[in-house]
Structure 1
Amino acid sequence: MSRVAVLKGGWSAEREVSLVSGAACATALRSLGHDVVEIDVAPDLSAVLTREAPEVVFNALHGRFGEDGCVQGLLEVLGLPYTHSGVLASALAMDKPMAKRVFSDAGLPLARGRIVSREEMLAGEPMDRPYVVKPINEGSSVGVEIVLAGDNVGPRELATWRHGDAVLVEEYIPGREIQVAVMGDEALGAIEIQAFGRFYDYDTKYKDGRARHIMPAGIPRAAQDEACDIALSAHRALGCRGVTRADLRYDDTGEGVGRFALLEVNTQPGMTPLSLVPEIAAYRGMDFTRLVGWILEDASCRR
């Protein structure tokens, strides 16, 4: 058994979710017999890790610093093996425009989009409605806005965002919300999310009763297989390792065969009671404790 440091909390917009993920993972690791120290991450992380002397780090951080390559770089400097993706893959996945370039080069289906500055937004509509406005480097749908044809909100109101000097604006893809878990070199399956609100936003993801989860996704088997192929290709294109989750839209609102659009890849999927990767893994016969154990073992192999 190993001495494991579980990193959780931090100071990103997803701090509260990370605390829940970290606590759940720590409990699972203790049940497997590991010596676990839980660390609510602060700027003195390097000193804390040096003092605690873990053999391996279980990264349960979400959002900035936790999954954008920063903490991964620190762990590399300290010579500590850690869970999930490395520095480059984490940084690429978190930077949505850069990830889209990688996905485009890999031939994966995407929503049309472009980076829009605050000044451009103030000058008028960035594209024909409906469209989606996203922070360039946040996760868990933090700061995401959908602008539909009849909405009163306009570019001037959206230009008050608090997530940097520019945003990513993409065409809105109607249809279904599909997410796929990838574990190692295998896509575990596709799940469908039916949000009871406007869309699968931050509150919907982490508050019970806000969405319906359908596993496997209620789309044709051929479409499920296609979703898994896209997710695995995206995982590989970014150079990810461990477990990731790909977010897709499936537009089956028209006639004929539906079309997919890959939205993003999450390199630090949530591990809360409402999180999707554990639910997909459970459908495949892997309970939460086994999943956490596999993630740790995958990191330990790189020691």
Structure 2
Amino acid sequence: MSLSEQQKLNQQRFGKVAVLMGGDSAEREVSLASGHCVLSALIEQGVDAHPFDPSERAIHELLNEKFNRAFIILHGRGGEDGVIQGTLQQLKIPYTGSGVMGSALAMDKVLSKLVWSARHIPTAEYRVLDKQSFNASECEHILNDLGGSVMVKPSHEGSSIGMARASCADELASAVQQAFDYDETVLVETYIDGPEYTVAILNGQALPAIRMTSPNGFYDYDAKYKTDTTEYFCPSGLSLAQEQELARISLTAFEALSGRGWGRVDAMKHANGTFYLLESNTVPGMTKKSLVPMAAKQAGMSFGELVIKILEQSLDHADTRLG
């Protein structure tokens, strides 16, 4: 089939597509960057795609303008937590990715931990702190319980926003207070000293793992989006057996949180060889330098092919998207 024939077929298959991007979350700028890359790729593939920013337009305009489906590329709250998914279901507009429950579970780091622990999926030891009841005098005890070095994370943020590492009581108290600027609930978990990996999930399959290294100490917001010093390795350098084990655990973890369609699971590898899962992302970054496109390229898939495969999910799940 020629390119023009494929483009015509895509236009017929998908109809008018809204690329939902931007939003009001702390990840707005990242979402806009991802959204414009997705939009350009869809148009190149012949899809009748248009940008739609829910922070600037009323969502019911999707109906008024007769959109047939939505490609969700909203990162963070309001877009990755089940809110927009539930709204689209009420409007009966098919969309990409996980449903209401899968989105909400993955967005909440504490609930993710509870589900994974119940399923015996390896994840670091942790404590949950509440803004209303937190007492800085607890920090020394928390550190001792969690091995002396910890990561502090707002429970409902992505892109490593509000995260910090702490190795003494004063550092922990300061990191927790900073995290409370973003969330009422904060997760403190044992720091895993080892290489970090991510596994992209696409239609029930794990793509090749990526290993990330950063001089920042961990893969934080600056390492992801602002510096040129972060290194990515794909192939990851794992043995075949380790690659298969990480893929298996990541798929199990994604599905345990009711993840559907596409996403990404992040993990650390302990010195003893055990993989500990960090979090699941149901709407990962989608710039051409992002991790999911990088893994797809290693699997022999172009960026254009990737966005079409994601958009195809809206054809298969038009009616039942609670999971």
Q: Give the TM-score band, short-chain normalised.
A: over 0.9
Matched, 1:261 2:279: no
Tell me which moved more, 277-286 or 101-110: 101-110
Distance 1:243 1:200 in 2: 22
Aligned partner (choices 104, 111, 118) of residue 117 of structure 2 = 104
| Structure 1 residue 48: Cα displacement | 2.1
Alignment of 1:81 onto 2:90: no
- Once the two structures are superposed, the pairs formed by residues 1-303 of structure 1 within 5 Å of their partners are 1=11, 2-42=15-55, 44-118=57-131, 119-125=133-139, 126-128=142-144, 129-149=148-168, 153-156=171-174, 158-160=176-178, 161-252=180-271, 257-303=272-318
- Structure with greater strand share of residues: 1
8 Å contact 1:206–1:274 — kept in the other structure?
no
Q: Deviations over 1:217-261 (max 9, x none)?
A: 123222211110111001211121111100000012xxxx41111
Any stretches of 5+ residues in structure 2 without a counterpart? 1-10, 319-323
Deviation string 1:35-56 (CA, Å, 9 cap, x unpaired) is: 1110122274323212222111
SS in 1 for 2:247: helix
For residues 17 and 107 of structure 2, the distance between their equivalents in structure 1, rounded to whole angstroms, comes to 25
Of 153-162 and 164-173, more deviation after overlay is shown by 153-162
Bigger shift: residues 232-241 or 17-26:
232-241
Q: Scaled by the length of structure 2, what TM-score is found?
A: 0.88
SS at 2:20 equivalent:
strand
Q: In percent, how many aligned pairs have the same letter? A: 41
How far has the Cα of 1:196 moved from its partner?
Answer: 2.2
TM-superposed deviation, 1:153: 2.5
Greater Cα offset, 285-294 or 45-54: 45-54
Whether the aligned pair in 1 keeps the contact of 2:109 and 2:155 (CA below 8 Å) is yes
Distance in 2, matches of 1:165 and 1:138, equals 11
CA 279–208 in structure 1, closer or farther in 2 if over 3 Å, else same:
farther
**C-alpha distance in 2 between matches for 1:120 and 1:223:** 40
Task: Name the SS of the counterpart of 2:223 in structure 1.
Answer: helix
**SS of equivalent residue, structure 2 residue 198:** strand
Query: Any conservation in 2 of the 1:184–1:242 contact (CA below 8 Å)?
Result: yes
SS of the aligned residue for 1:38 comes to strand
User: Counterpart of 1:159 in structure 2: which amino acid?
Assistant: Q
Q: CA 1:145/1:157 → structure 2, altered by over 3 Å: closer, same or farther?
A: closer
* Unmatched runs of 5 consecutive residues or more in structure 1: none
Asked if 1 retains the 8 angstrom alpha-carbon contact of 2:176 and 2:186, the reply is no
Give the stretch that moved more between structures: 40-49 or 269-278. 40-49
TM-superposed CA distance for 1:25, in Å, is 0.5
